[in-house]
Amino acid sequence: MTGASGLSPKYEHHVVGRFAPSPTGPLHFGSLVAAVGSYLFARRVGGRWLLRIDDLDTPRVVPCMADDMLRTLEHLGFRWDGEVVRQSSRFEAYRTALDRLIRQGDAYPCGCSRAEIARIASAPHAGDGSVIYPGLCREGLPEEKAPRAIRVRVPDEVIVFRDAVAGEYRQDLAAECGDFVVQRADGPFAYHLAVVVDDAEADVNQVVRGADLLDSTPRQIWLQRLLGFPEPAYAHLPLVTNPDGSKLSKRDNAVSLAAGLGRPGTGSALLIAALRFLGQSPPACLERAPCDEILTWGIAGFDPALIPGFQLR
């Protein structure tokens, strides 16, 4: 059963949502749709909306891109609560969580390289074509191997959750994922661990993002359980794709002041297009309205049940 926000009624009166772009390139129209969706899901019930910069993968971060994103969002009328959090300043928090997993026996060192795992012909493959880790180091690191990564043990059970857009989603972690990496061989903490720690510390209880992250959600739910964190409500929005059906990249349809967003009417047109992509019907009189006025209409009139693929429970 869902409430007015499209999410569980237990979240109705204390919603904390967030938008967490990665500064590896400018915002594109797909990321704008995620920003609009997360903003309206939270604001329409008087919730808080946080902004986090997911700059964990430092080698891929484009210098000054985070600041460009912040200026772009401000120009488009978004207003966030509290200070902007950057993952690059939170490594100590991730280390604390990882140490806890290791102490609990829920994580272990792995000495396998990707090439070694890929050579195991009998290893099953996940839906995305990647090889499921066969557990070579699960019972202890072989003497001839040095640790290359830290993996989390997954249970032989199905993780089930209800998504506000996709409906019920089920994944057998052992069969479809396998023990997954939470710290990579080259040092950085993995995305799954970082977002779980960040969301829990910020009291985020509503995660609205693109459908490309739907199949990673069971791994994050498993980490939340291991670390004793509450499970947020989830809504995975339909993806904006190229005409050939491929996922939109940050090279496509850049939404940035540097890419001409400052031209009169451009920001308003983009917000209207994002609302329509999400199944909403803003009136024609808003097409030339200021951005903040369009978002105000969205907060008052946003209906999650109109999102393509929305599953009402």
Active site residues: 250
User: What is the pairing mode between strands 233-237 and 206-210?
Assistant: parallel
* Nearest-5° Cα angle at 312, 309 to 313: 135
Say how far apart CA 253 and CA 230 lie, in whole Å. Answer: 36
Say how far apart CA 31 and CA 194 lie, in whole Å. Answer: 20
* C-alpha distances in Å from residue 127, one per residue of 118, 131, 136, 182, 300: 15, 9, 21, 20, 39
DSSP string, 11-48: GTTS-EEEE---SSS-EEHHHHHHHHHHHHHHHTTT-E
Contacts of range 252-255, beta carbons closer than 8 Å, 24 or more positions apart: 252/28, 252/29, 253/28, 253/29, 253/30, 254/25, 254/26, 254/27, 254/28, 255/26, 255/27, 255/28, 255/29, 255/31, 255/32, 255/72, 255/76
Cross-sheet strand order for the sheet of 149-152: 107-110, 149-152, 180-183
